[in-house]
Amino acid sequence: MVNKEREYSLIMVVWEITHKCNLMCKTCCSFSGKALRDELSHEECLKVLNQIIEAGVKMLFFSGGEPLLHEHIIEYTKKASEAGLRVSTATNGTIVTKGLIKKLKEAGMEEMHFSIDGPTAELNDEIRGKGTFRKVIKGIKIAKKEGMRVTMVSVITSLTKTSPVIEKLFELALKLEVNALSLERFIPTGRGAKNRYLALTKEQNKKILKLIYRNKKKLEGKLLISTGDPLKCLLDPDYPKSPYKSIYGGCGAGVTSLCITPTGDVTPCPVLMIKVGNVRKDNLKNLWLTSELFLKLRNRDNLKGKCRKCPKRNICGGCRGTAHNLRDDYLETDPMCWI
Ligand code: SF4
Ligand code: SF4
């Protein structure tokens, strides 16, 4: 008998390649700082890459910590891109140099996501540390000049939630000529859990999503505005309307993507840190196909509360990481849902 859940293919792996970071951002979903003692060795990382390739993964996204601080990032990029994967990376943008971008590009890095948590030095530096705004702007300019595709990523917090501030973010993205601007929900986990005052209410989150869709059309052709928030399905006019019988979109955790931590733990998402195994002893593809947690996430009839009965559940499903962190139950209703 064919197991329906096994038809789900693993599209993207988010690989937190090191815990090491030169910043201490208040919105960070991990406790990045020093490298962990038991991070995967170079040899182990090469084996993990083989597992990722063998699992048929389409996209590899490096995260961290600061992935550019990993001494083998260029080698791993090259190996993955030569195997046909689309490779991209997150970065805090503060240690970017022309030479590094050139090497990354030559190795096959297709896109870099630069974090900016506010449109001014005052707002951004309050979250990401003194002097970081100036450095990340410089980093973006270097990356653009070298022909790298650049996405500017902003986590929206209580400090940046107003329309004038968000509009300034649009202006900044246009001025820097980045390829895309991604506005993301703050999920209080990792270091972020100590900074809950930065979180938005569900009404404020709705207002931000409305702003995104009001400006998305207006800026079409000039700037691509996006969000990974599954609640976008309630406001995005281009989203499918049909009540799909199986999962068609929304939260990808365990459905289309998984996360590997610096020590090799496998979890559904960087904000849904429930371990299903470890690549040091488990095979990634096998975990993807058989883990009970992944199988549960692939059937939204398993959801609880409002999400369980919601006709939108197969195109949304709510952010399972937010439910896990705020409700202590990854299957519960997404606390940010306003319906
Ligand atoms: S109830 Fe759940 S599935 Fe429905 S829209 Fe809200 S978060 Fe999404
Ligand atoms: S758990 Fe939240 S952040 Fe992670 S994939 Fe789902 S919606 Fe996105």
pLDDT in tens, 112-168: 999 999 999 999 999 999 999 999 999 999 999 999 999 999 999 999 999 999 999
Q: Does the CB atom of residue 247 touch ligand 1 within 6 A?
A: no
Q: Which atom of ligand 2 is nearest to the CA of 321?
A: 1
Q: Is the pLDDT of residue 335 over 90?
A: yes
Residue range 7-27: mean pLDDT, rounded = 95
Confidence of residue 4 (pLDDT cuts 50, 70, 90): low
Q: Nearest bound ligand to CA 259?
A: 2
- Pocket-testing residue among 239, 307, 308, ligand 1, by greatest number of atoms within 8 A of Cβ: 307
Q: How far apart are CA 332 and CA 321, in angstroms?
A: 10
Q: Does the CB atom of residue 155 touch ligand 2 within 6 A?
A: no
Q: How far apart are CA 84 and CA 62, in angstroms?
A: 16
Give residue 237's pLDDT: 79
Q: Is the pLDDT of residue 178 over 90?
A: yes
Q: Is the pLDDT of residue 33 over 80?
A: yes
Q: What is the mean pLDDT of the chain?
A: 95
Give residue 2's pLDDT: 38
Residue 248 alpha carbon to ligand 1 centre in Å? 14
Q: Does the CB atom of residue 321 touch ligand 1 within 6 A?
A: no
Residue 118 alpha carbon to ligand 1 centre in Å? 28
Q: How far apart are CA 320 and CA 317, in angstroms?
A: 8
Q: How far apart are CA 7 and CA 45, in angstroms?
A: 27
Residue 43 alpha carbon to ligand 2 centre in Å? 30
- Assess contact for 43 and 204: CB atoms under 8 A: no
- Pocket-testing residue among 310, 327, 336, ligand 1, by greatest number of atoms within 8 A of Cβ: 310
Q: How far apart are CA 143 and CA 141, in angstroms?
A: 5
Top pLDDT among 78 and 240 is at 78
Q: Does the CB atom of residue 10 touch ligand 2 within 6 A?
A: no
Residue 229 alpha carbon to ligand 2 centre in Å? 7
Q: Is the dihedral of CA 200, 293, 262, 84 positive or negative?
A: negative
Give residue 54's pLDDT: 97
Question: Can you spell out the DSSP letters for 159-203?
Answer: TT-SHHHHHHHHHHHHHHT-SEEEEEE----GGGGGGGGGPPPHH
Give residue 16's pLDDT: 98
Reported pTM: 0.96
Residue range 19-45: mean pLDDT, rounded = 96
User: 225: left (phi > 0), else alpha (psi -120 to 50), else beta?
Assistant: beta
Q: Which atom of ligand 1 is nearest to the CA of 306?
A: 1
Q: pLDDT tens digits, residue range 190-249? A: 999 999 999 999 999 999 999 999 999 899 999 999 999 999 999 987 777 777 788 888
Give residue 1's pLDDT: 36
Residue range 271-289: mean pLDDT, rounded = 98
- Pocket-testing residue among 187, 269, 326, 327, ligand 2, by greatest number of atoms within 8 A of Cβ: 269
